[in-house]
Amino acid sequence: MSSAREQTRLPPPNSRRNVHSPDFPVPLDPSALIGLVPGQTLRLGSCELCFELASGGMATVYLGVHRGAQGFEKLVAVKRPLPRLCADPDYVDMLADEASVSSDVNHPCVRNVFDLGVAADGSPYLVMEFLVGEPLSSVSHAMAEQPELVQTARHHRIVSRIIAGCCQGMHAVHELTDRSVPREVVHRDLTPHNLFALHDGTVRVTDFGIMRARVRRQRETGQTVLKGKVAYMSPEYLGCKPYDRRSDVWALGVVLWELLTGRRLFRMKREADTFAAVLNAPIPRPSTLCGNVDHRLDNIIDKALARNVDQRYQTAHDMAQDLEAYLAHSGGAGAPEVGAWLRQLLPSSLPKLTALVDATRELTAPRREPPTSVAALVPNGRYAYLRRE
């Protein structure tokens, strides 16, 4: 087959449900997945893309296989900007900044980035760790359907473990230096969509695309442009005042509050009302909404969500330490318990991801004809087997 495979075009993002959609079918149904041009694959450097994992306003993330020497293969997630952004130098610089920060930090709770590449058409892409888990946004949706879980001490311990891991990951990012000079990274988008709980019980902080740092390729303009989701922005950031790593601590406090209570803290129907709520609305202690929340968690929330930054946790590590102290007192929650809780909360998630991985390996296997199992995944020839010469 000719090298034209490099030019294969994917269907438009959002044309089908992605793998993290709540109504994604299990068993796996290829009609819910993005397919490639029949008989071809999409190659980006050493990667071969198969299915869409998620799509947002700036980029789409695909599941693929990275190949190396001697038959080495690794499942990866590949992030590609939307076509309208590929020629935008600011966005390209932003992607390079994200790759730089993510690859420089060495922490198990931060998503790995393996490569920043350029496709044959000149568009950039990131090669990232494939996460076998779910964003906390999916966890929150599942919690809304099982409100009784929020009332259990087990739930409180597990979400505390999850946020403690996210705090430790962000602390490692905040501590990054360049030639001994602090890089002063602020994520600016620590929302449930960018925090993942994995089925092995670990967590990942992801997506540093709109982060701010002391040294970066993308230049900040003199104009005041708020980046991120208002409901998770800190009061000082919304108020256009100086901000630092403590803004990320605030965002983690908001996520913890919402996981403990099963409710949204600041989000309103109108963004202007959300803006006002972040700045001025009273913040109820979780125990006033869920009576069995430990007072230690109330105290952690109070400190994480202090509008006076000098009264807030000064580092994410400090917040993690208090969460660890609470966990030590309450019986703790390890990775196996977190993984079991996630599978109980989202029982279709792991089978869905496992089927997706199996389909990817089948579709990229070096065979000339599809095995029966792949043919079964491709009814009526709609998604042809990806043959290779």
Assess contact for 34 and 16: CB atoms under 8 A: yes
Catalytic, 200? Answer: no
* 77/292 Cα distance (integer angstroms): 40
**C-alpha–C-alpha distance, residues 322 and 305, integer Å:** 14
pLDDT averages per 10-residue partition of the chain, 389 residues: 35 43 41 42 83 84 89 92 86 88 92 91 91 96 88 94 98 93 92 96 92 60 64 93 95 97 91 93 94 94 98 98 97 95 95 90 68 43 31
The DSSP secondary-structure symbol of 186 reads B
User: What domains appear along the chain, each with residue ranges and CATH number?
Assistant: 3-106+113-131+348-381 (3.30.200.20), 133-344 (1.10.510.10)
Residues 6 or more apart whose Cβ sits within 8 Å of residue 25: 32
Query: Can you give the pLDDT at residue 14?
Result: 41
Residue 1's nearest CA partner among 32, 26, 28, 38 is 38
pLDDT at residue 367 in the model: 55
Q: Which amino acid is at 343?
A: R
- What's the pLDDT at 364? 81
Q: How high is the pLDDT of residue 378? A: 38
User: 359 vs 152, 208, 224, CA distance in Å?
Assistant: 37, 29, 46
Annotated active-site residue in 88, 97, 115, 189: 189
Q: How far apart are CA 199 and CA 252, in angstroms?
A: 21
Alpha helix positions (H), 233-385: 235-238, 246-261, 271-280, 286-289, 295-304, 316-330, 335-345, 349-363, 372-377
**Residue 162 has what pLDDT?**
98
Q: What is the pLDDT of residue 57?
A: 80
pLDDT of residue 375: 44
Residue 168: predicted pLDDT: 98
Alpha carbon distance 344, 342 (integer Å) = 5
Close Cβ partners of 30 (under 8 Å, ≥ 6 residues apart): 359, 377, 378, 379, 382, 383
Nearest CA among 37, 5, 34 for reference residue 19: 34
Distance, in Å, from the CA atom of 115 to the CA atom of 199, rounded to the nearest integer, reads 25
Q: Which residues pair with 44 in a beta bridge?
A: 47
